[in-house]
Copies of this chain bind each other. A is one copy, B any other.
Amino acid sequence: MTVTTPAGFAAAGVACGLKKSGNKDLAIVQNLGPLTSAAAVFTSNRCQANPILWSKQVMADAVVEAIVLNSGGANCYTGSQGFQVTHSTAEAVADALKISAGDTLVCSTGLIGEQLPLDKLVNGVHLAAEALAHADAQTLAGGMNAAEAIMTTDSKPKTCVIEGGTADTGMYSIGGMAKGAGMLAPGLATMLVVITTDAHLTSSQLDTALRAATRVTFDRLDSDGCMSTNDQVTLMASGASGVTPELDEFTARLTEACTSLALQLQADAEGASHDIAITVRNAASEDDAVEVGRSVARNNLFKAAIFGNDANWGRVLAAVGTTGAEFDPYDIDVSFNGVQVCQGGQPDQPRDLVDLTPRAVDIQIDLKVGSHTATIWTNDLTHDYVHENSAYSS
């Protein structure tokens, strides 16, 4: 049920002292081949962490043999010294695994603006390399250790496995792990994700599939509107199954894997008490639907109302009205958990009929101008969110 489920991958997660808690804080996922295909998507934040700058260089030839990830520090806004730490980490991995540093991705997550201790990182790489040499690195245990090591404020590790293929093409699998509980906003949602597959696909095929899958999954998760500097989703293929699936079929399975991880991120968002799905229907374009959904997802008054179990649909429409999407402001329908509280821009069913006590909240917004639909996933704004994010670095 994680990155080691697909054949041809080993993973390890160790504690090297980056986290004051002593918990696991460094992971390596190694692609044992025969293929070394890979694709990655990165944060669209213009302020990018050193590991992002490094990993983009590594992806130039789309060959990846291993990825090393640390929690306990983002290595962002740490200047040339910070970049050197990232580079040296990749070289330590390359030395230990007898691979090229240029084929080694690096991901970091944690507080921005603090230098990472290179000695601890290098020690962690050695510990992880030892673990990778053991047989259980290719089993569930190895994958789960890695998933634990990338956690920050996450309350639990996040993993998934999807089986793909057909009787005709043969079967393959996709495994994934993710971390992320805050700074969860699109382009990408704030997180680190590693997805593995034993399907036999080229890097170019992986890239096409990954962009298609993230566009409708991680890019539509917007927990708190705050985009991180360290987001990275990496997909690696070992080809070890020997199966080359149809790309459409693989993309569909990959999208299922990304959806599973995105919903796990949403469910574990810092301080959240509701998981909110905002579906915008009958928009003139998919972009319009996304823009409207995201505007509502980022409206603090709406999010606070959901926390208070208050079906305050006026706040939904006030947020819709700030967008440039095509609609008639006075002909919109809104429903909360199946109760249509607004029809044609006027009150319909009493808001008191809406039951917002379940964690899952379904908001439907009908723009009535086209045929496009999109769903944005977000969370409510709670006391615990404020608490956790006012105390994070202290």
Residue numbers of A with Cβ under 8 A of B are: 45-48, 74, 76-79, 81, 111-115, 182-183, 224-229, 298-301, 304-305, 307-308, 310, 312-315, 317-323, 329-330, 341-342, 344-347, 351, 381-383, 385-387, 389-394
Contacts and interface: CB of A to CB of B under 8 A. Distances in A.
A305 B344 contact: no
Given A182-B301, A226-B318, 19 more contacts: A45-B322, A77-B313, A77-B346, A111-B314, A112-B313, A112-B314, A113-B314, A113-B342, A183-B301, A225-B299, A226-B315, A227-B318, A227-B321, A300-B381, A308-B391, A310-B390, A310-B393, A381-B389, A386-B386
A381 B386 CA distance: 7
A313 B315 CA distance: 31
Contact of A78 (B301, B307, B346, B386): B346
Given A113-B342, A393-B305, A228 B48 contact: no
Closest 10 CB pairs of A and B: A112-B314, A308-B390, A47-B321, A304-B389, A79-B346, A45-B321, A46-B321, A113-B314, A47-B329, A304-B390
Given A307-B390, A314-B74, A224 B301 contact: yes
Q: Is the interface of A mostly helix, strand, loop or mixed?
A: loop
Contacts of A347: 77-78, 113-115
17 contacts: A45-B318, A46-B320, A46-B321, A46-B322, A76-B318, A77-B314, A77-B342, A113-B314, A113-B317, A113-B351, A225-B300, A300-B385, A310-B390, A310-B391, A381-B389, A382-B386, A383-B383
A392 B306 CA distance: 12
Contact of A318 (B228, B304, B320): B228
Nearest to A348: B113
Contacts of A307: 386, 390
B383 A315 contact: no
A392 B386 CA distance: 18
A317 B229 contact: yes
Given A78-B346, A310-B390, A385-B304, A225 B298 contact: yes
A347 B323 CA distance: 37
Contacts of A229: 314, 317-318, 321
A183 B318 contact: yes
Nearest to A182: B301
Contacts of A79: 330, 344-346
Contact of A394 (B45, B111, B301, B310): B310
A386 B304 contact: yes
A138 to B, nearest CB: 37
A8 B391 CA distance: 54
A386 B347 CA distance: 25
A232 to B, nearest CB: 15
A70 to B, nearest CB: 16
A128 B228 CA distance: 53
A80 to B, nearest CB: 8
A242 to B, nearest CB: 43
